[in-house]
Structure 1
Amino acid sequence: MNIFKEPLFSQSYIDTGEGQPVILLHGLFGNIAMWRTTINTLKHRYRVVVPRLPLFEVPIHRANVDYLVEVFHEFLLWHNLNNIILVGTDIGGQLALDYAYHYPENVKKVIISGCSGLFENIPPINKADQIDYDSVEDQVKDAFYKRDIVGTTMINKVYNTVNASSKNLHISAFASSSKKSLVSKFLFRVSRPVLMIWGLQDKITPPEVALHFHDLLRYGTIKFIDECGHYPMIEKPESYNEALLEFLN
């Protein structure tokens, strides 16, 4: 019987495989589908859990990284997930690092890609508290077309997310919170091994961002992937999964 209170949000999730729990965390412009090849790679050796982060369900005044950590923690408690390995991209990577800092007793390892929290090439919020996402959309479009693993439906979902004005407010709020909640304040205190899998052609979080993460982390390792942008799990899944498995094993 679960002794913990019901989580704040009953988000959908994937739970497959058996063994060591590995949690995959998407970013602002992704969802569960972006992890398809990673899930298929890991599920034979690990229990793979992929929650859909409730980025657009949280109240707008709670659309920040700190609250997302709280929501994620309650999700883990409700599902009795402990001694976990966290894999995150974009703000999902920032969430993974933040959670590992606050709850080190529940985390074994962390893997991040294109992680936010230090520096990102995203246009600033304008007076209307909206972001011009053209450059970010181009990155997402390039990633999905380079690897035709999710098809037009997934691309349309991403674009619909970006173009919906109500969701734009949440994205703007989370992006602003991500920039203000700088991980540099606590990275040196993260006591778990961290692997950074980074695209050498990442234009949103360039390779020097990964190097800066490495300088601040006590137990950090970098794996660069050539001819790869912001989404290595989509653009170069074979190289990404190889590096992931090597680190996990």
Structure 2
Amino acid sequence: MKFALKQEKGFSYIDEGEGDVLLLLHGLMGALSNWEQVIEEFKDRYRIIIPMLPIYDLPLLTTGVKSLSKFVHKFVKYKELKNITVLGNSLGGHVALIYVLSHPEYVKALVLTGSSGLYENAFGGSFPRRESYDFVKEKVEYTFYDPAVATKELVDDVFQTINDRNRVIRILAMAKSAIRHNMAKDLHKITIPVGLIWGRNDKITPPEVAEEFNQLLPDSELHWIDKCGHAAMMEQPVEFNKLLNLFLEKIKK
């Protein structure tokens, strides 16, 4: 990761560039580096901020999507951000949706890619063979259309995470919280522009999830990326950035 991680007041985050703020939220097994290509592409004309979500640091009883949304709000207030565009992948998209519903006055627009909040087919309720490296490798590859995107570094990172007892308990608690907190009944209240950029081959939040989001969100537009799985900004960064740029240009007008 070539961008400096800043640490202050209990927050760890990346803050690059100047201009309108893009606040990027990573997924459950994600990392700040997942957004590297987005930072590279947009930092010359936007201020890109990526907070590290405290997925493994919350008390177990409050480990859930609502707590992450509250954390995001504390961060936004601390950094005195306003008129922001929030981008969320996977769990980060779910947190973004809750945040927008709670604090619409801070958010100008929303971009979701492979977002949970309606349905997701993730690891399931447990890690039956988490000690098996090959099993973990297979699960990480499942995230992408092209298994080669699941580099050894990425697999090693996930393997290490889910074999840490403290972390795996919180991952399962967070996943269960996400499943319980279905957003279908609330999405009609989100009236800001929403860009949906989806991998057509996403097996975790499949295409029908994107279509349902598009139906339920009043001001949304859906764009597909072919030969692409659950993390479009990693697997097809050029196409993702192109579609993101078109959306950002449109909401400027």
Instruction: Tell me whether 1:145 sits opposite 2:148 in the alignment.
Output: yes
Matched ranges for 1:198-213 at <5 A: 198-213=198-213
**For residues 127 and 188 of structure 2, what CA distance do their matches in structure 1 show?**
31
Matched ranges for 1:54-133 at <5 A: 54-125=54-125, 130-132=126-128
Asked if 2 retains the 8 angstrom alpha-carbon contact of 1:24 and 1:86, the reply is yes
Q: Which residue of 2 aligns with 1:158?
A: 158
**For residues 246 and 159 of structure 1, what CA distance do their matches in structure 2 show?**
37
Pairwise CA distance, 1:158: 2.6
Asked if 1 retains the 8 angstrom alpha-carbon contact of 2:28 and 2:91, the reply is yes
Pairwise CA distance, 1:59: 0.7
Identity, in percent, stands at 36
Asked if 1 retains the 8 angstrom alpha-carbon contact of 2:114 and 2:230, the reply is yes
Q: Which residue of 1 aligns with 2:5?
A: none
Asked if 2 retains the 8 angstrom alpha-carbon contact of 1:27 and 1:90, the reply is yes
Which amino acid counterpart does residue 236 of structure 1 have in structure 2? Q
Task: Output one character per residue of 1:167-189: Cα deviation in whole Å (capped at 9) or x when no partner.
Answer: 11111011000011111121000
Q: Structure 2: 5+ residue runs without aligned partners?
A: 1-7, 131-135
**For residues 43 and 71 of structure 1, what CA distance do their matches in structure 2 show?**
24
Pairwise CA distance, 1:26: 0.4
Instruction: Tell me whether 1:242 sits opposite 2:242 in the alignment.
Output: yes
**For residues 9 and 162 of structure 1, what CA distance do their matches in structure 2 show?**
28
Which amino acid counterpart does residue 110 of structure 1 have in structure 2? L
Asked if 1 retains the 8 angstrom alpha-carbon contact of 2:141 and 2:149, the reply is no
Which amino acid counterpart does residue 82 of structure 2 have in structure 1? N
**For residues 9 and 141 of structure 1, what CA distance do their matches in structure 2 show?**
35
Q: 1:209 to 1:241 in 2, by over 3 A?
A: same
Q: Which residue of 2 aligns with 1:40?
A: 40
Q: 1:81 to 1:100 in 2, by over 3 A?
A: same
Q: Which residue of 2 aligns with 1:219?
A: 219
Give the SS at the match of 2:11: coil
Coordinate RMSD, CA, aligned: 2.0
Which amino acid counterpart does residue 11 of structure 2 have in structure 1? Q
**For residues 139 and 198 of structure 2, what CA distance do their matches in structure 1 show?**
17
Task: Output one character per residue of 1:14-71: Cα deviation in whole Å (capped at 9) or x when no partner.
Answer: 0010010101110001110111000011101100001111100111111111111111
Give the SS at the match of 1:23: strand
Give the SS at the match of 1:184: coil
**For residues 213 and 144 of structure 2, what CA distance do their matches in structure 1 show?**
26
Q: 1:102 to 1:37 in 2, by over 3 A?
A: same
